[in-house]
Amino acid sequence: MPEQIDGIDAKILHLIQSNAALSVADIADKVGLSSSPCWRRIKRMEEIGIIKQRVTILDRTKLGLDFEVFVAVKLALPNRTNMEKFEKAVARMPEIVQCASVTGAVDFMLRVVTKNMHSYEDFLREVLLSIDLISDVQSRIVLRQTKESYSIPLNLISNAVPRL
């Protein structure tokens, strides 16, 4: 059951996920509250886990990390123990920025970020394939990222947040 939030909470969340650097005073002004009640709402949403953390989003291309690959991984024996072992191994690999257990012909989809094709090949051979649980890996090199969002669609839970 999703946590209950009202329209003002949804507006606050929309503002925070658009720009986490906004001050409480700025957020309060934009949602029609004074700072104290706005701050209490933000703290409540942090305490109940709706707001998990606030982060800074870096431009990976300006840092020379502009090679991105989606990797489909099939385990040799996809049982609970092996899936948990794989997930723990992946958690220690900073090149893997996303990992999801999926349905279908493969067991996991990974999003990998590296410097270039050669660094991806090194990662694949030396790191990922060192996990003895893997039976198959299929790589899909991203040619161009056409959409990348870190925002969740708040318009699906509240009419207070417009579809942008």
- Shared fold status for 7-56 and 67-141: no
Global pTM reads 0.84
Please, what CATH class does the domain formed by 67-141 belong to?
A: alpha beta
Which of 63, 69, 79, 77 minimizes the C-alpha distance to 127? 69
Instruction: Report d(CA 66, CA 110) in Å as an integer.
Output: 16
Give 152: exposed, middle or buried? Use CB within 10 Å, 0-12, 13-18, 19+. exposed
Vertex 123: Cα angle to 132 and 86 (nearest 5): 35
Instruction: Report d(CA 12, CA 22) in Å as an integer.
Output: 10
Per residue of the chain (164 residues), give pLDDT as tens: 466 888 899 999 999 998 999 999 999 999 999 999 999 999 999 999 999 998 889 999 999 999 999 999 999 999 999 999 999 999 999 999 999 999 999 999 999 999 999 999 999 999 999 999 999 999 999 999 999 988 888 888 876 666 65
- CA 35 from centroid of its chain's CA atoms: 29
Q: Locate tokens 């606050």: which residue?
A: 12
C-beta atoms surrounding 96 within 10 Å: 20
**CATH code for residues 7-56:** 1.10.10.10
SS3 content of the chain, % helix, strand, coil (to 5): 40, 20, 45
Instruction: Report d(CA 22, CA 62) in Å as an integer.
Output: 24
Q: Spell out the domain ranges in the chain.
A: 7-56, 67-141
Amino acid at the residue 112: V
